[in-house]
Amino acid sequence: MVSQDDDSVLRRSEVTDGVVSSILTGTKAVELCPKPFRLVAKAKGFSKMEDLSNLQDLDYVDLRDNNFSSLEGISRIKRLKTVILKANCLSSVDDLGALSNIRVLNLAENKLTSLKSIADSSFAAELITLVLGGNQLRNIDAITAFPKLRTLVISKNGHRGLVPRSLSPPSSQSCPPRTMQSGRSRRH
Task: For residue 59, tell me if it sits in a domain.
Answer: yes
Strand order in the sheet with 19-24: 13-16, 19-24, 46-49
Task: For residue 23, tell me if it sits in a domain.
Answer: yes
CB atoms within 10 A of CB 12: 16
Specify the CATH number for the domain of residue 21.
Answer: 3.80.10.10
Query: Given pLDDT bands bounded at 50, 70 and 90, which one contains residue 133?
Result: very high
pLDDT tens per residue, range 176-186: 444 433 344 44
Task: For residue 1, tell me if it sits in a domain.
Answer: no
Task: For residue 27, tell me if it sits in a domain.
Answer: yes
Average pLDDT over residues 140-167: 80
pLDDT tens per residue, range 15-44: 344 444 588 877 777 777 766 788 899 999
* Closest-CA residue to 153 (of 183, 175, 168, 132): 132
Indicate the DSSP class of residue 184.
Answer: E
Q: How many domains is the chain built from?
A: 1
Task: For residue 126, tell me if it sits in a domain.
Answer: yes
Which pLDDT belongs to residue 21?
56
Which pLDDT belongs to residue 163?
57
Cα–Cα dist 18/14, whole Å: 10
Residue 169 has pLDDT above 70, yes or no: no
- 151 CB-side CA count, 13 A: 10
Task: For residue 70, tell me if it sits in a domain.
Answer: yes
State which residues form the domain around 103: 16-158
Task: For residue 7, tell me if it sits in a domain.
Answer: no
pTM, entire model: 0.73
The CA-atom distances, in angstroms, between 136 and each of 31, 84, 162 are 34, 18, 11
pLDDT tens per residue, range 47-61: 998 878 788 889 999
Task: For residue 183, tell me if it sits in a domain.
Answer: no
Average pLDDT over residues 71-75: 89
